[in-house]
Amino acid sequence: MRDGFSIEELKKRLQNSRYKLTHQRQDVLEVFLNSTGEHLSAEEVHRTLRDKGYDIGLATVYRTLELMCSPEMNILQKMEFGEKRARYELKKIEENGHQHHHLICKKCDKVIEFSEDMLEGLEQKIAETCNFNIIDHQVLFYGYC
């Protein structure tokens, strides 16, 4: 699996899109690099940075997260797990080109990542039937662990 992105990768992507690598953007990315496998809300990222003594506003965190989710950056994935707030994680793509999916426990809110992708045939059929070029998808399963 390709793990994530380094600061150098972020810097290149930002420069290619005519953005700068500000220390706030770097700080936000480092939270994710140090929290692999976690699905963090903007508030959790903000709290983590504030606890480390960084002076960063919540609005800056939100703007940075949205920028890193943009198609040109494609560094973070934004997800809605039904709790009325977005969560973010490093965009991880399996070696076979597929993303992982999420199992969400309705009792304890635990999020389990599931890597096996059985949707390839379905994706292809949808693309052909609807004449639609699929570039991304998210699958969430809700149940109980």
Q: Does 24 share its domain with 67?
A: yes
- Domain total of the chain: 2
The annotation status of 130 as a binding-site residue, yes or no, is no
SS3 17: coil
In tens, the pLDDT along 4-49 reads 567 787 778 888 888 888 899 999 989 988 887 788 899 999 999 9
- What is the C-alpha to C-alpha distance for residues 12 and 97, in angstroms, rounded to an integer? 22
Q: Does 119 share its domain with 55?
A: no
Q: Does 66 share its domain with 126?
A: no
Q: Please tell me the number of Cα atoms within 13 Å of 8 on its side-chain side.
A: 0
Q: Does 54 share its domain with 72?
A: yes
Instruction: Identify the top-confidence range among 9-18, 21-30, 52-61, 124-133.
Output: 52-61
Nearest alpha carbon to residue 109 among 62, 41, 42: 41
In tens, the pLDDT along 91-104 reads 765 444 556 677 77
- What is the C-alpha to C-alpha distance for residues 123 and 121, in angstroms, rounded to an integer? 5
The annotation status of 105 as a binding-site residue, yes or no, is yes
The annotation status of 69 as a binding-site residue, yes or no, is no
Structural domain of residue 30, as residue ranges? Answer: 1-93
